[in-house]
């Protein structure tokens, strides 16, 4: 296990490790892991210049910040000053004049952006098979997908190129790749993150969040992004977690074994698992989610292009989409006959508050601290053929619904969710993710629970 971000910062501040050496090591690892295709763009000279500034501050006794010299990878739909933003699609391409606020929060504390990561085109998909910038490969097995849409950031962290980075999550786009690559991925509560400077997908559900190798590192990055205190690990004894039974069906044998083992360990640590049925709430969330999603994908993107790339129309951008699955979605469901009307959209928006109240009532009725379930029903499938279907328990099933199934509704609730990696069972190298979801805006509580669970799993 590499040193934590906090430990690396301590070493840089003490002078026992230079920021320059950290950045040089990062680019060396990027070169040796080039086959995973994690990055769309990077700037070694810019990163080294920033690292030298940090080292000069250390030498002079200046304030280096809470992320002094830490290299980070940023998903390429998030603006970083001086870097191209493409959102993984040929129709978007501009150099950002300023960073998104969430990036500025991190760089103002001494973090160094080394590059922009590859992703599923326009953040709409779960494979990161990007036809414009190339397929992202899973560091655990280069023949398999890393998940998406934040697959590049997940792969960069999982391969050890960086200790942390940022992704975005509308319907699972941080947590799915975190689960499939074996890293920690955190979706904050939607209301807590400033989404300025980020290419929109579905603004009602979009949120950006951190990815790292441990819950502690994710919590540290999240505390800086949201200006909150660092959470403390929760004592698990007496904790009540809702085991979502409808998310436990039709799991691969590998996922089933991994999560069952994890449940046994946390119960031994004092957690009470309470079986709950969330199907009425999640079903309503999917009905609302697609109506809101396809309507906002059109209007939000048109408005964004008008602001950031005024010489490109929405139709021109769609015409340049390279990935077949994304192109079909925009042509048929966003612009075509299947696109939701404004009336349908307004009706869907009006239902969201009721869904969120029912979600909170589930917690109250069962006296729950959080929900727990497998992040995905299947481990990372092979890249070949995965655009449309994957093989699960003897049959081919559509890729997108399978990997969205357990995690998409979290966005409709506006709630925080985190995927924690589970150790692969003996003889199997593919990671599995354990998802924990909390109450909206109770992010610190959720992270505290995740810290406690991570410790229980490691120490069991």
Q: Could you state, in chain order, the average pLDDT of each consecutive group of 10 residues for the chain (460 residues)?
A: 87 96 98 98 98 97 95 98 98 98 98 98 98 98 98 98 98 98 98 97 98 98 94 96 97 95 97 97 96 97 97 97 97 93 97 98 98 98 97 97 98 98 76 98 98 92
Question: And the tokens for 384?
Answer: 């070949």
Q: Round to whole Å and give the CA distance between 127 and 145.
A: 6
DSSP letter at 345 equals: H
Sign for the pseudo-dihedral over CA of 219, 225, 230, 236: negative
Any bridge partners for residue 167, and if so which? 209
> SS3 sequence, 37-69?
CCEEEECHHHHHHHHHHHHHHHHHCCCCCCCCC
3-state secondary structure of 226: helix
pLDDT at residue 425, rounded to an integer: 61
Residue 288 phi/psi, 5-degree rounding, is -70, -45
283 counts as catalytic = no
Active-site residue identified among 99, 149, 189, 285? 149
Which of 75, 163, 285, 333 is catalytic? The answer is: 75
Give one word for 123, left, alpha or beta, with left for phi > 0 and alpha for psi -120 to 50.
left
Q: Is 157 helix (H, G, I), strand (E, B) or coil?
A: helix
pLDDT at 426: 59
Q: What is the residue whose two structure tokens read 């995965």?
A: 386
Is there a catalytic annotation at residue 173? Answer: yes
Q: From CA 128, how far away is CA 433, in angstroms rounded?
A: 18
Task: Report the C-alpha gap between 355 and 440 in whole angstroms.
Answer: 12
CA-to-CA distance for 37 and 34, rounded, in angstroms?
Answer: 6
Query: What is the token pair recorded at 284?
Result: 């309503």
What is the C-alpha radius of gyration for the chain, rounded to an integer number of angstroms? 21
pTM above 0.95, yes or no: yes
Rounded distance between C-alpha atoms, residue 364 and residue 138, angstroms: 39
- The pLDDT value given to residue 286: 96
The catalytically annotated residue of 173, 189, 201, 223 is 173
Residue 70 structure tokens: 């830490």
Report whether 110 contacts 58 (CB < 8 A): no
Determine phi and psi for 73, rounding to 5 degrees.
-110, 135
Residue 420's beta-bridge partner residues?
434
Q: Is 320 a catalytic residue?
A: no
């Amino acid at each position: 296990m590499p040193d934590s971000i906090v430990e690396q910062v301590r070493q840089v501040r003490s002078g026992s490790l230079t920021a320059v050496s950290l950045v040089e090591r990062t680019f060396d690892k990027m070169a040796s892991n080039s086959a995973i295709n994690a990055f769309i763009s990077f700037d070694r000279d810019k990163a080294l210049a920033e690292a030298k500034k940090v080292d000069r501050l250390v030498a002079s006794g200046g304030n280096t910040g809470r992320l002094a010299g830490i290299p980070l990878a940023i998903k390429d739909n998030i603006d970083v000053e001086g870097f191209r933003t493409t959102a993984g699609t040929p129709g978007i391409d501009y150099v950002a004049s300023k960073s998104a606020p969430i990036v500025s929060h991190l760089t103002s504390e001494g973090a160094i952006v080394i590059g922009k990561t590859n992703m599923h085109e326009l953040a709409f998909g779960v494979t990161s098979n990007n036809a414009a910038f190339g397929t992202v490969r899973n560091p655990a097995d280069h023949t398999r997908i890393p998940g998406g849409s934040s697959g590049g950031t997940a792969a960069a962290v999982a391969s050890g190129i960086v200790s942390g980075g940022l992704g975005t999550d509308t319907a699972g786009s941080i947590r799915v790749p975190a689960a499939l690559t074996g890293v920690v991925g955190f979706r904050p509560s939607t209301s807590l993150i400033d989404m300025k400077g980020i290419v929109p997908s579905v603004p009602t559900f979009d949120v950006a969040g951190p990815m790292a190798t441990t819950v502690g590192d994710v919590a540290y990055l999240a505390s800086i992004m949201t200006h909150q205190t660092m959470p403390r690990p929760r004592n698990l004894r007496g904790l009540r977690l809702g085991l979502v039974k409808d998310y436990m069906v039709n799991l691969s044998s590998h996922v089933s074994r991994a999560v069952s083992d994890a449940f046994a360990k946390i119960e031994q640590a004092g957690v009470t698992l309470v079986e709950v049925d969330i199907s009425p709430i999640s079903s309503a969330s999917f009905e609302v989610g697609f109506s809101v999603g396809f309507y906002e994908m059109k209007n939000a993107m048109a408005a964004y292009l008008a602001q950031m790339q005024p010489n490109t129309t929405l139709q021109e951008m769609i015409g340049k989409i390279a990935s077949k699955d994304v192109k079909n979605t925009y042509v048929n469901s966003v612009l075509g006959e299947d696109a939701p009307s404004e009336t349908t959209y307004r009706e869907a928006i009006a239902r969201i508050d009721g869904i969120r109240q029912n979600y909170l009532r589930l917690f109250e009725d069962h006296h729950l601290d959080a929900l727990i379930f497998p992040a995905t029903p299947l481990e990372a499938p092979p890249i070949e053929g995965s655009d449309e279907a994957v093989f699960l328990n003897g049959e081919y099933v559509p890729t997108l619904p399978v990997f969205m199934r357990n995690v998409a509704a979290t966005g409709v609730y506006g709630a925080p969710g985190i995927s924690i990696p589970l150790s692969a069972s003996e003889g199997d190298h593919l990671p599995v993710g354990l998802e924990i979801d909390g109450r909206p805006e109770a992010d610190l509580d959720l992270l505290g629970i995740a810290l406690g669970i991570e410790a229980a799993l490691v120490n069991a």
